[in-house]
């Protein structure tokens, strides 16, 4: 019995195809239709590649500035040694936004990062998978929505496990990306 090494495609181009843009645009339009923003949208800069998720939520009118400040304050209250909650999870737990809104904004944020002219360096697992063409942003967003909902119910499930359970990627791809990230020199 022979063993073959898993092949994980490298990041060839961080430029998403037209159908990827269309699927994220459709996801955004559908979210805006089903869950319209309750507040006035804020102006967003043309260069959004480095904007944090809170700015996207403000920019689309899903939260108010004082809600962002409160969520950031909660995030900073983590004691030493305790893992800080993600800002999106705090907002979902406080019912400021839904898991769907969070997942959609994360997909829009990823698209902005992918089209930015500066070299894209994926950081999170989902970014690696999308940039390598192993998963489409709409599928990632669906799993992020599920993960966010599970967290709001008190369950902590890793994104990679959910992606594998949903048959969207193979575990070998996840393991390869995690190994590559572990071996990447710290800048």
* Distance spanning both ends of the chain, measured CA to CA: 41
pLDDT higher for 164 or 185?
A: 164
Token pair belonging to 17: 């195809």
- Percentage of residues in the chain with pLDDT exceeding 70? 90
Per-residue pLDDT at 15: 55
Structure confidence at residue 111 (pLDDT):
87
Query: Maximum distance among all alpha carbons in the chain?
Result: 62
> Is the confidence at residue 50, as pLDDT, over 50?
yes
Top mean pLDDT of 3-17, 78-92, 140-154 is at: 140-154
d(CA 16, CA 55): 23
* pLDDT digit string, tens, across residues 71-84: 999 988 877 777 78
Q: What DSSP line would sit under 126-156, residue for residue?
A: HHHHHHTTSS-HHHHHHHHHHHHHHHHTT--
Higher pLDDT, 14 or 57: 57
* pLDDT tier for residue 186 given thresholds of 50, 70 and 90: low
If you average pLDDT over every residue of the chain, what do you get? 84
Which tens digits make up the pLDDT trace of 134-177? 998 889 999 999 998 898 888 888 999 999 999 999 999 999 99
* Mean pLDDT value across residues 87-106: 94
Q: What is the pLDDT of residue 85?
A: 85
SS3 (DSSP) at 67: helix
Residue 132 has pLDDT above 60, yes or no: yes
Per-domain boundaries in the chain: 18-183
Decide: 91 and 71 in contact? Cβ < 8 Å: yes
């Amino acid at each position: 019995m022979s063993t073959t090494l898993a092949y994980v495609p490298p990041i060839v181009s961080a430029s998403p195809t037209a159908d990827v843009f269309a699927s994220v645009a459709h996801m955004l339009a559908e979210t805006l239709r089903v869950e319209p923003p309750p507040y006035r949208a804020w102006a967003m800069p043309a260069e959004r590649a480095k904007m944090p998720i809170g700015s996207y939520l403000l920019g689309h009118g899903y939260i108010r500035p004082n809600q962002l400040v409160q969520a950031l304050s909660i995030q900073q209250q983590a004691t030493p040694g305790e893992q800080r909650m993600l800002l999106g999870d705090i907002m979902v737990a406080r019912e400021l936004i839904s898991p769907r809104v969070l997942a959609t904004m994360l997909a829009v944020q990823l698209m902005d990062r992918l089209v930015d002219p500066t070299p894209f360096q994926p950081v999170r697992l989902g970014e690696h998978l999308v940039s390598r063409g192993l998963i489409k942003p709409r599928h990632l967003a669906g799993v992020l929505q599920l993960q966010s909902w599970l967290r709001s119910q008190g369950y902590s499930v890793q994104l990679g496990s959910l992606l594998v359970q949903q048959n969207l990627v193979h575990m070998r791809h996840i393991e390869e990306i995690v190994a590559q990230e572990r071996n990447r020199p710290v800048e």
